[in-house]
């Protein structure tokens, strides 16, 4: 049974809608101004990845499989046209917001970005000295001629195209030069306090400094114009499984080429003349709809560093101290605490420290004999990885499943894999063709002559920094049946053999998809029998057509379905005769909503799961994922309230999805309720 295309929404347009919701945070005047700036930077970061991956895929499909029909019924070329128009609208609004609201609000708070026409004599002198001292020695202008072809430009690097007149010392008259800004250079420079008026934090852009001194790079020639630009390239990696003998070696070769993939987007200064734009488009084999003219810096992501240079608490979110579970507040040793009962951690409201402690204590505990862990994203500086290395050096049996294909974390993971192997750990790269996205940690400890296993299963990565920025659940348990399931999964990943039956856990690519669709069908049966039937699910994305089809059937049977989907959702809610019993909301706030929680009423049984998987085809069929039931009654009530109900009551950061895929901000009637603020207050005071 195929689904009518008009019942599915376009994935890429859904991602752009999510970025509109993020950008709306930058418009909120009640938020601290530097946090508003950060939201604008996050939009730029998201758009970079959107073009590097999703638009690059669409372009490839439009060229190589133009007759292909996408899930929403459009061809790749049709989708690309819609996406381009929506992306241009979003970026225009982003830069308008920066110019007309964010910069003026920053200035009102004494955080000033000086334009060149605002520099006074003392500032000009300091900036000139900075140029000759810090920039001039490392800049390499490239004059274009037969001996100097257009240089290979790194993905997303800042560059300048310079229009020249006259002949140089060798008689060359190319008329065009390229100046690349090395990545080691900061994109915003803070002026010394003595050059700032009234104690303001004062910044100038690197592009402004170079614009004002570009003539110095071309002595004896006339600079007719200097225009910043930035090219975005296809950055998705692919490794041919027919030729791979060592995934790490093959991936290292691919990584070297990532920075020079096919161009997919060109950002240029809005002052750039048409003939220079045309020259760049021809150089990068791009079309008119691929160019974004911007009135401002071509890379807003680099403004993310500005808050680090400003010591003004009132311009940022108030800091908070994440709490510990009560049993750990009482100084109960960690292994003893886990033995007393399952422990639930709700980040960032509760600290990630117990997870760090579990690993660091295991590394030095003589009673611990083995540690097994999956690594997807952990960062370049990780106490968790250092603990694994220490454990291996101490002679413990350490097995680490490192996902080398974690997008944009490949280099960090390759580095960790190398260090772990050097320390004596067993390092495997999962199962070729399937990403390891499960979050599992297993510690084996000898206690009173017997081996006991301690487990952590989570919805988020083993990354202490993002644990303070993302909402996630983590379960710590020594339940022997769950521990056996986790150990069986590690054996399945590292060894060879058929997948065995697990007692409690569900996994992709084998049982998770079937469990979800079976649970939905069970709710349909209850509804048809006249019993109450309800589904509540929270996730980052909902795209998988079979699950959407099952949810539509459930809605038609009378099942009440409430979905909390932070990002892209291909399901159409509220359509009469199709999905009138389905509502979809998105929460965008201070923290990135990252928890995956699935609730099925099941005739009062209230089956509840936390998972590493979204409801997407890749998570169900092309990744190794875990989904664990919450068995403890007290913890189940906590997850239902903290992970679901409080978000359904949010009338401050909630957006309600419409039938056409657009969203409307939920307007508070009476007292405002913000889920994240409520949880912050409860856990951090």
Domain boundaries, the chain: 5-315, 326-503, 507-684
Report the alpha-carbon distance of residue 149 to residue 399 in Å, rounded: 49
Average pLDDT for 463-479: 96
Q: What does the pLDDT look like over 68-122, one tens digit per residue?
A: 999 999 999 999 999 999 999 999 999 999 999 999 999 999 999 999 999 999 9
For residue 510, pLDDT over 80 is answered with yes
Domain range 507-684, CATH architecture:
2-Layer Sandwich (3.30)
Q: So which residues are the catalytic ones?
A: 437
CB 514 within 8 A of CB 635: no
Domain range 5-315, CATH architecture:
2-Layer Sandwich (3.30)
Fold equal for 326-503 and 507-684: yes
Q: What does the pLDDT look like over 328-368, one tens digit per residue?
A: 999 999 999 999 999 999 999 999 999 999 999 999 999 99
Could you list the beta-strand ranges (E) of 43-194: 111-113, 141-143, 159-165, 176-180, 188-190
Four-residue CA torsion sign, 568, 570, 571, 573: positive
Eight-class DSSP state of 469:
T
For residue 242, pLDDT over 50 is answered with no
For residue 670, pLDDT over 90 is answered with no
Residue 594, pLDDT score: 97
Is residue 373 classed exposed, middle or buried when 0-12, 13-18 and 19+ CB atoms within 10 A define those classes? Answer: buried
Q: Does residue 275 or residue 413 have the better pLDDT? A: 275
Residue 259, pLDDT score: 57
Cβ within 8 Å of residue 153, ≥6 positions away: 159, 178, 180, 231
Cβ within 8 Å of residue 84, ≥6 positions away: 289, 290
Per-residue pLDDT band for 613 (boundaries 50, 70, 90) equals very high
For residue 496, pLDDT over 80 is answered with no
Count of other CB atoms within 10 angstroms of residue 120: 10
Residue 667, pLDDT score: 78
Average pLDDT for 124-145: 93
Residue 250, pLDDT score: 47
Which helix (H) or strand (E) segment is 560 a member of? strand 560-565
Q: What does the pLDDT look like over 165-177, one tens digit per residue?
A: 876 655 666 689 9
Interhelix angle 206-213/121-130, nearest 10 degrees: 90
**Class at the top of the CATH hierarchy for domain 326-503:** alpha beta
Mean pLDDT, rounded, of the chain = 92
Q: What does the pLDDT look like over 300-311, one tens digit per residue?
A: 999 999 999 999
For residue 249, pLDDT over 60 is answered with no
pTM: 0.93
Report the alpha-carbon distance of residue 141 to residue 312 in Å, rounded: 39
Q: What does the pLDDT look like over 404-428, one tens digit per residue?
A: 765 656 777 788 888 999 999 998 8
For residue 5, pLDDT over 70 is answered with no
């Amino acid at each position: 049974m195929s689904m009518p295309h008009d019942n599915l929404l376009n994935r890429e347009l859904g991602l752009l809608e999510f970025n509109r919701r993020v950008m709306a945070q930058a418009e909120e005047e009640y938020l601290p101004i530097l946090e508003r700036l950060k939201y604008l930077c996050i939009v730029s970061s998201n758009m970079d990845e959107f073009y590097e991956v999703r638009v690059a895929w669409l372009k490839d499909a439009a060229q190589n499989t133009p007759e292909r029909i996408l899930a929403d019924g459009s061809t790749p070329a049709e989708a690309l046209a819609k996406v381009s128009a929506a992306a241009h609208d979003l970026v225009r609004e982003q830069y308008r917001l920066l110019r007309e609201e964010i910069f003026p609000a920053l200035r009102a708070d004494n955080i000033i970005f000086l334009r060149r026409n605002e520099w006074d004599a003392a500032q000009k002198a300091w900036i000139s000295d900075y140029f000759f001292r810090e920039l001039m020695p490392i800049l390499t202008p490239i004059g274009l001629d037969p001996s100097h072809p257009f240089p290979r430009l790194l993905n997303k690097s800042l560059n300048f195209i310079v229009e020249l007149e006259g002949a140089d010392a060798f008689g060359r008259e190319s008329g065009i030069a390229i100046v690349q800004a090395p990545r080691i250079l900061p994109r915003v420079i803070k002026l010394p306090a003595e050059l700032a008026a009234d104690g303001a934090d004062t910044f100038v852009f690197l592009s402004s400094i170079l614009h004002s001194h570009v003539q110095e790079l071309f002595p004896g020639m006339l600079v007719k114009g200097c225009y910043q630009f930035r090219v975005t390239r296809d950055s998705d990696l692919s490794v041919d499984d027919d030729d791979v003998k060592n995934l790490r070696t093959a991936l290292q070769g691919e990584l070297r080429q990532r920075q020079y993939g096919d161009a997919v987007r060109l950002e240029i200064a809005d002052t750039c003349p048409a003939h220079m734009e045309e020259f760049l488009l021809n150089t990068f084999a791009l079309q008119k709809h691929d160019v974004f003219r911007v009135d401002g810096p071509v890379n807003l992501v680099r403004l993310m560093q500005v808050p680090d240079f400003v010591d003004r608490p009132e311009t940022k979110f108030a800091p908070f101290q994440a709490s510990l579970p009560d049993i750990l507040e009482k100084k109960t040793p960690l292994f003893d605490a886990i033995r007393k009962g399952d422990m639930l951690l709700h980040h960032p409201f509760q600290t990630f420290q117990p997870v760090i402690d579990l690993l660091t204590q295991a590394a030095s505990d003589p009673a611990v004999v083995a540690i097994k862990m999956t690594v997807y994203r952990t960062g370049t500086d990780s106490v968790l990885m250092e603990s694994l290395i220490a454990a291996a050096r101490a002679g413990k049996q350490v097995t680490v499943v490192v996902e080398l294909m974690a997008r944009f974390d490949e280099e960090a993971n390759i580095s960790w894999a190398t260090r772990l192997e050097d320390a004596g750990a067993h390092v495997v790269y999962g199962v070729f063709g399937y990403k390891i996205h499960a979050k599992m940690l297993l510690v084996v400890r000898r206690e009173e002559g017997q081996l006991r296993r301690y487990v952590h299963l989570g919805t988020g990565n083993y990354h202490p920094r993002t644990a303070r920025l993302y909402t996630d659940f983590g379960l710590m348990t020594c339940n022997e049946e769950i521990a056996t399931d986790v150990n069986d999964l590690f054996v399945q990943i590292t060894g060879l053999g058929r997948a065995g039956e697990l007692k409690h856990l569900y996994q992709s690519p084998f049982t998770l998809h079937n469990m979800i669709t079976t649970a939905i069908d069970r709710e349909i049966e209850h509804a048809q029998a006249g019993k109450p039937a309800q589904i509540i699910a929270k996730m980052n994305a909902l795209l998988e057509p079979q699950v959407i089809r099952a949810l539509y059937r459930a809605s038609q049977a009378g099942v009440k379905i409430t979905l909390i989907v932070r990002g892209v959702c291909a399901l159409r809610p509220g359509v009469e005769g199709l999905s009138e019993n389905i509502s979809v909301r998105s929460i965008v706030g201070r923290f990135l909503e990252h928890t995956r929680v699935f609730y099925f009423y099941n005739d009062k049984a209230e089956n509840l799961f936390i998972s590493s998987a979204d409801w997407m085809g890749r998570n169900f069929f092309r990744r190794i994922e875990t989904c664990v039931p919450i068995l403890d009654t007290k913890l189940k009530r906590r997850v239902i309230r903290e992970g679901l109900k409080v978000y359904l009551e949010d009338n401050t950061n909630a957006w309600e999805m419409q039938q056409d895929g657009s969203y409307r901000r939920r307007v508070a009637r009476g007292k405002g309720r913000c889920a994240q603020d409520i949880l912050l207050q409860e856990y951090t005071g």
